[in-house]
């Protein structure tokens, strides 16, 4: 249960502060973790070429509610759809619990609604990929465009869920979410650049799946060959954008340490280094499926930590004497 109490603000007035139940905060983080698993299984669908496992039927699978005598690709695709359905129930539960366990004006309410909208859009984009045949061996530019939008929505959904969990923990209202304009700009640039890294990385992984190389030399030759498909030419965007995004992230880490959030900053910095190591290993090993999944897991954990860090830097929590502290 949530409890409310009066808190005196620096100008002498009082406002009601609701202490969100720890169970709700924990549940919100569970929803974040579950959606990371859904994303990883979606990558397995792509890496194993199982996107057409249910044919072009949606939401049915090969015209059936539960597929009979399914092939392995059907099991993989159908499992992903079931996991997505489970995510829907969890996000709906989070939305209802958030409105019941918080006060009007708390920022977590808005982020829970945004999460629900992005989840519905996620389902729509997934269905669009299936209905248009943008799965398995499809190499069209249409697939690249729709998949890029889909991947961007996925990261935004994960960010919205992370913000919901974070703001449930701090109990902040929209009126308290004021911060430096410069900090907001740099944080948004860092998050935006990292989102581009995530999308370009997934497209690079798709290129590795559709056009596997026999050696590292052959892979580099594919990237620069004049007749190479667009997916292979786009692979170079991923490492370049990763370096640029890292510069913004290092600024965020420095700001967080000044704000007293050294622990979260340390986690982000460690995950950033880990991601560069995984990316290098992915290239040297010619992107086997297990390495692609591990690399994506690191990327998702890094994204969640980075969003939490940006929240700490941009929206530090105000305490009763008017000073700020890290969330």
Q: In this predicted model, what pLDDT tens digit does every residue of 28-37 receive, in sequence order?
A: 999 999 999 9
How many CA atoms, within 13 angstroms, populate the side-chain half-sphere of residue 283? Answer: 15
Cβ–Cβ under 8 Å, residues 38 and 58: no
Residues of the chain with pLDDT under 50: 1, 5-15, 319-327
pTM value is 0.88
Tokens representing residue 149 in the block: 């939008």
User: What's the Cα-to-Cα distance from 310 to each of 126, 154, 190, 230, 252, rounded to whole Å?
Assistant: 29, 18, 9, 33, 7
Residues 58-68 have pLDDT tens digits of 889 999 999 98
Beta carbons within 8 Å of 198's beta carbon, 6+ residues apart: 151, 155, 299, 303
pLDDT at 137: 85
Tokens representing residue 293 in the block: 């999944």
- What residue spans define the domains of the chain? 1-8+19-176, 178-327
């Amino acid at each position: 249960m949530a409890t409310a109490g009066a808190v005196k603000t620096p100008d002498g007035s009082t406002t009601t502060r609701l202490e969100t139940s720890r169970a709700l905060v924990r549940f919100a983080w569970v929803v974040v973790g579950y959606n990371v698993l859904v994303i990883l299984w979606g990558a397995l669908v792509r890496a194993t070429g199982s996107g057409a496992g249910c044919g072009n039927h949606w939401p049915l699978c090969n015209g059936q509610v539960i597929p009979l005598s399914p092939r392995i690709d059907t099991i993989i695709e159908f499992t992903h759809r079931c996991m997505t359905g489970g995510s829907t129930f969890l996000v709906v539960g989070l939305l209802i619990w958030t409105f019941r366990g918080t006060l009007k004006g708390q920022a977590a309410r808005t982020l829970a609604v945004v999460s629900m909208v992005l989840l519905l859009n996620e389902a729509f984009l997934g269905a669009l990929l299936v209905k248009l045949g943008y799965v398995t061996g499809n190499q069209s530019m249409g697939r690249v465009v729709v998949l890029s939008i889909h991947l961007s929505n996925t990261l935004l959904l994960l960010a919205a869920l992370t913000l919901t969990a974070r703001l449930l923990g701090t109990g902040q209202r929209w009126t308290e979410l004021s911060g430096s304009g410069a900090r907001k700009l740099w944080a948004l640039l860092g998050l935006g650049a990292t989102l581009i890294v995530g999308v370009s990385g997934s497209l690079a992984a798709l290129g590795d799946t559709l056009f596997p190389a026999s050696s590292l030399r052959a892979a580099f030759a594919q990237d620069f060959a004049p007749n190479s498909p667009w997916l292979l030419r786009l692979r170079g965007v991923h490492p370049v954008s990763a370096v640029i995004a890292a510069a913004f992230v290092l600024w965020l880490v420095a700001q967080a340490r000044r704000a007293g959030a050294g622990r979260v900053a340390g986690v982000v910095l460690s995950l950033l280094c880990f991601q560069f190591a995984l990316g290098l290993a992915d290239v040297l090993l010619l992107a086997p499926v297990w390495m692609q999944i591990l690399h994506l897991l690191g990327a998702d954990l890094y994204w969640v930590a980075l969003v939490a860090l940006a929240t700490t830097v941009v929206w530090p929590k105000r305490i009763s004497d008017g000073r700020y502290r890290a969330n």
